[in-house]
Amino acid sequence: MTELLPLFGFVFAGLFSPGPNVILLTASGARFGFRPTLPHILGVAFGVGITSAITGFGLGALLQSYPSLRLILQICASLWILWMAYKLWLANPVQKNDAADRPFTFIEAVLFQWINPKVWAVALSAMVYVPMGSPTEQALTLGATFSGINLCVCLFWTYAGTLLSYLLTNATAWRVFLRIMAVALVCFSVLVFI
């Protein structure tokens, strides 16, 4: 177990720091509350586990070997993040009756992890901390570590967003908050290429 402590520490630091999931879950917790955001939380934790497990099986090495595949992943991720930023920028937190104005579903959150550049970067970097073993053992270790730690991280940031909603007492405060979240996403969409 002690041989996994460096992996746990690295994964925690990588996933806890701000990125698209942190921004989106904090905003969703603030806007919709903790309970409605649960499918989003579970989808992120499950999707991150799948993505990191696939890295353990060698897909990460394939992405590093073929820069054109990595570029396609970066472009898709950047466009999706920009689309989410656009939706946050235009969101009206006072009027939440629109069916399109809702938290991510479980499936949407899972699918986003497959092109989330931060998850790929952390998973690729975490490979150096995975104990030697068969590709299956490494994939299971990465998947379980990422899912378990990320579930805790997602719960924290969503709850933080829920608490933050108590400070957002008027439409102007909400608009400023959502626009700051949108701008943070736009900045991250540029960082995808660095």
Contact (CB, 8 A) for 11 and 126? yes
pLDDT tens column, 38-85: 999 999 999 999 999 998 787 766 767 888 887 887 788 788 888 888
Q: How many CB atoms lie within 10 A of CB 68?
A: 7
How many CB atoms sit inside 10 A of residue 159's CB? Answer: 16
pTM: 0.84
pLDDT digits (tens, 9 = 90+) for 84-141: 889 888 887 655 556 667 899 999 999 999 888 888 888 888 887 888 888 888 899 9
Kindly calculate the radius of gyration of the chain based on its CA atoms and give it in whole angstroms: 17
| Burial of 136 from C-beta contacts in 10 A (0-12 / 13-18 / 19+) | exposed
